[in-house]
Amino acid sequence: MNTQKIAAITGSRRGIGLAIAQTLAEKGWFVILSGTSPAEENEGLLAEFRAKGQACDYIPCRIQCAQERGAFIETILARCGRLDLLVNNAGTAPPMRLDILETTEENYDFVMNANCKGTFFLCQQAANAMLSLQKSLVDYHPRIVNISSISAYTASVNRGEYCISKAGISMITQLFAARLAADGIPVFEVRPGIIETDMTAGVKDKYLSLIDGGLTPVPRMGQPKDVADCVAAAASGALDFAVGQVLNADGGFHLRRL
């Protein structure tokens, strides 16, 4: 039976998810990367980890697909025999950025099926697997971390579906934190702010201008590593009594100031 701690990070081929995987691998975790592309297309990515002596694997998963969610957890257990940490990072923006007076049901369903439904049921499947593993593993302390966004409480009327989905992830975290706390499975939410990734590249100048104008107390864009460090803190066990806690990786954006 594998005794190395296993961390599965969805949406981890790039950006925030990749930084989370890299940070956990540096701390000795066996990391399972995941994305929508097949495994054979990610051998180069795995080779970069292995070149540093870091243990890793890749399992594809479209989180909006029930069959693939089930296969994801089953494959982890078959290959590794355990799952110590699930990081729900995978998500999507709407195919078209449309005002809420113009958006479509297709836009809405596309985002909600991945971000909200996918996260909810992957939490469910991981939690049930962790509860089962508690019966057979010694010194086993599993955790779940969900990645949301400041969009959970910050209105963007031209991508309302995304905001609703991130608010949903916040409630998903609270629900599973409440349900699993007595079973010794802490659940946390990490809430990124304005992070410099491929997703924000097209509006980087706008964000930099806002930050220069005082939008965030910390006067810079966040980096994926800033989010990854919050995940690592939650995964470490140091925050277990703060079950359900929201870690705001946002440079202080959430602070109300006059």
DSSP class per residue in 66-86: HHHHHHHHHHHHHHHS---EE
Amino acid type, 190: V
Q: Is residue 82 within 8 Å of residue 141, measured between CB atoms? A: no
β-bridge pairing 143-147 and 85-88: parallel
Question: What's the CA angle centered on 21, arms 37 and 170, to 5 degrees?
Answer: 90
| Residue 235 within a domain | yes
242 part of a folded domain: yes
pTM, rounded to two decimals: 0.96
| Per-residue tokens: 135 | 């019966």
Could you tell me if residue 202 is inside a domain?
Answer: no
58, 153, 162, 207: the active-site residue = 162
Q: Is residue 257 part of a domain?
A: no
Number of domains into which the chain is organized: 1
Nearest alpha-carbon partner for 134 in 71, 73, 85, 183? 183
Domain annotation covers residue 206: no
Burial class of 26 by CB neighbour count within 10 A (0 to 12, 13 to 18, 19+): middle
Q: What is the residue range of 19's domain?
A: 6-196+224-249
| 127 in any annotated domain | yes
Query: How crowded is residue 25: how many other Cβ atoms within 10 Å of its Cβ?
Result: 21
CATH number for position 141: 3.40.50.720
The pair of three-digit structure tokens given for residue 97, joined into one six-digit string: 């950025």
Within a domain: residue 162? yes
Measured at the CA of 16, the angle between CA 14 and CA 18, to 5 degrees, comes to 45
Strand ranges inside the chain, DSSP E? 6-9, 30-33, 56-58, 85-88, 143-147, 187-192, 246-249
In a domain, 123, yes or no: yes
What's the distance, Cα to Cα, between the start and end of the chain in Å?
56
Catalytic residue status for 162:
yes
Eight-class DSSP state of 39: G
Ordered per-residue pLDDT tens for the chain, 258 residues? 467 999 999 999 999 999 999 999 999 999 999 999 999 999 999 999 999 999 999 999 999 999 999 999 999 999 999 999 999 999 999 999 999 999 999 999 999 999 999 999 999 999 999 999 999 999 999 999 999 999 999 999 999 999 999 999 999 999 999 999 999 999 999 999 999 998 888 889 999 999 999 999 999 999 999 999 999 999 999 999 999 999 999 999 999 998
